[in-house]
Amino acid sequence: MIAEDMMKLGKKSSVIREIFEYGNKRKQEIGAENVFDFSIGNPSVPAPESVKKTILDLVENMDATELHGYTSAPGDMEVRKAIAAYINRTFDAGVNAEDIYMTVGAAASLTISIKALAQQGDEFITFTPFFPEYRVFVEAVGATLVTVASREEDFQVDVSTLEKAITEKTKAIILNSPNNPSGVVLTEETIQGICDLLEEKQKEYGHAIYIITDEPYRELVYDAIEVPYLINYYDNTIVGYSFSKSLSLPGERIGYIVVSNKMEQARDVFAAVCGAGRALGYVCAPSLFQRVAAKCIGQTSDISIYKRNRDLLYRSLEKYGYHCVKPDGAFYLFVQALEEDANAFCERAKKYELLLVPADDFGCPGYVRISYCVTTEQIERALPAFEKLAKEYEH
């Protein structure tokens, strides 16, 4: 007998993947230029030129056995020093190189952090709408994902709703800001409210409740919005970061974890992170891209393109009668479907070759996600289709 839960997981592809595959088929049938695929979150802006230069420089000038060899499990020490220095320069967070663990992207930052903390029966809380893989990651370690509804008017966390969901079994809260799929950035006031509540609850239950941040979109913010750095607000914080979106390197699999050294037993928690990485068989993050990340940290792809896309799409959709909270970051628009059933709405959108993702798996039935990490030209060409779709619902 094999592991049935894993078999089920392998057989069931995500809604996003299904729509993406449908789009590929449709593109072959009617031509790529006639399909308006807004399904997937693959950065559409290339990595900055400095990434290419750094790769070439490393390949040409660094000793090949070292460059392509194993690093120590938490990562190369010079890389970890460079990342800690950047974090301290930028956020003044008092982080040491020894607190950094290099990972293969945000997904691994999460699976490792969750495995490092979870005991059978623990609860991990997150907020709707949420990245659907959280459920997979949490359930894989025998824990339960508890979902708490965000405020519908602005998708900020309502602290009193959160309070009702916290129990003796709560091990951690997973925070994703800027958020996939809403694009919302949690305000400092919201963060402070969550942290104050958790401090209280830790005292009440007499054990730690951790915050795990999932922040692959940290730098993808528009209009000078600040994204609070959690280590400066809450001691029991584990930061999960990825370069997938900021440097447009999702296929290269590179990111890191920071275990705040301000938490109690920080070295034991860090050891648990190392143990979880080991148990999951990660060995070490890609050696070449650890070095690329260290040298290019602080730079980003040309984010002005995403801002242009957001402004164009948001303005146009509002004009056509759609409703959504204006996103401050990431590259998604989270829109109310024009009928109750978002799946039926997405089916109807296909008539106009518009590929949108229903948000049921994100914990928000009745909404759809539109990924605007596409060319601005695709958005311009798709606008009449969005307008026609809205008109169908006018009477």
What backbone phi and psi angles, to 5 degrees, belong to 252? -85, -15
Closest contact distance (angstroms) between CB of 114 and ligand PLP is 12
Q: Is 113 in the site for ligand PLP (CB under 6 A)?
A: no
User: Which of 39, 176, 190, 236 contacts ligand PLP by CB under 6 A?
Assistant: 176
Q: Which two tokens stand for residue 217?
A: 């979109």
Q: Is 384 exposed, middle or buried (0-12, 13-18, 19+ CB in 10 A)?
A: exposed
What backbone phi and psi angles, to 5 degrees, belong to 238? -120, 120
Total residues contacting ligand PLP (rule CB under 6 A)? 13
User: Which of 48, 132, 250, 286 contacts ligand PLP by CB under 6 A?
Assistant: 250
Nearest to 174, CA basis, from 225, 121, 120, 133: 133
Closest contact distance (angstroms) between CB of 183 and ligand PLP is 11
Binding mask 183-212 for ligand PLP (x = CB under 6 A): ------------------------------
Using CA atoms, how far residue 126 sits from 109, 165, 181, 266, 299, in Å, is 16, 10, 13, 23, 29
Residue 353: how many CA atoms within 13 Å on its side-chain side?
A: 20
The residue among 181 and 193 lying less far from ligand PLP, judged by its C-beta, is 181
Closest contact distance (angstroms) between CB of 66 and ligand PLP is 25
Q: Is 221 in the site for ligand PLP (CB under 6 A)?
A: no
The widest CA-to-CA distance across the chain, in whole angstroms, is: 69
Closest contact distance (angstroms) between CB of 131 and ligand PLP is 4
Dihedral-angle region of residue 3 (phi above 0 means left; psi in -120 to 50 means alpha; beta otherwise)? beta
The residue among 17 and 315 lying less far from ligand PLP, judged by its C-beta, is 17
What backbone phi and psi angles, to 5 degrees, belong to 141? -105, 15
Q: Is 366 in the site for ligand PLP (CB under 6 A)?
A: no
In which residue are the tokens 């916290």 written?
166
* Cα 235 to Cα 202: distance, rounded to the nearest angstrom: 12
Q: Is 219 in the site for ligand PLP (CB under 6 A)?
A: no
Q: Is 255 in the site for ligand PLP (CB under 6 A)?
A: yes
Q: Is 216 in the site for ligand PLP (CB under 6 A)?
A: yes
The residue among 112 and 117 lying less far from ligand PLP, judged by its C-beta, is 112
* Cα 253 to Cα 286: distance, rounded to the nearest angstrom: 8
Closest contact distance (angstroms) between CB of 298 and ligand PLP is 18
Q: Is 364 in the site for ligand PLP (CB under 6 A)?
A: no
Binding mask 37-76 for ligand PLP (x = CB under 6 A): ----x-----------------------------------
Q: Is 371 in the site for ligand PLP (CB under 6 A)?
A: no
User: Which of 38, 124, 127, 131 contacts ligand PLP by CB under 6 A?
Assistant: 131
Tell me which DSSP letter residue 259 carries: E
The residue among 322 and 331 lying less far from ligand PLP, judged by its C-beta, is 331
User: Which of 214, 219, 235, 361 contacts ligand PLP by CB under 6 A?
Assistant: 214
Rg (CA), the chain: 21
Q: How many angstroms from the chain centroid is the CA of residue 334? A: 15
Q: Is 357 in the site for ligand PLP (CB under 6 A)?
A: no
Burial readout 90-121 (b: 16 or more C-beta within 10 A, e: otherwise) = ebebebebbbbbbbbbbbbbbbbbbbbbbeee
Q: Is 327 in the site for ligand PLP (CB under 6 A)?
A: no
Query: Do the strands 332-336 and 170-175 form a parallel or antiparallel pair, or are they unpaired?
Result: unpaired
User: Which of 147, 156, 177, 244 contacts ligand PLP by CB under 6 A?
Assistant: 244
Closest contact distance (angstroms) between CB of 246 and ligand PLP is 10
Closest contact distance (angstroms) between CB of 244 and ligand PLP is 3
Binding mask 81-110 for ligand PLP (x = CB under 6 A): ------------------------xxx---
- Is residue 258 within 8 A of residue 99, CB to CB? The reply is yes
- Is residue 241 within 8 A of residue 104, CB to CB? The reply is no
Q: Is 178 in the site for ligand PLP (CB under 6 A)?
A: no
Using CA atoms, how far residue 262 sits from 207, 309, 340, in Å, is 16, 40, 46
User: Which of 180, 237, 248, 287 contacts ligand PLP by CB under 6 A?
Assistant: 180
Q: Which residues bind ligand PLP (CB under 6 A)?
A: 41, 105-107, 131, 176, 180, 214, 216, 242, 244, 250, 255
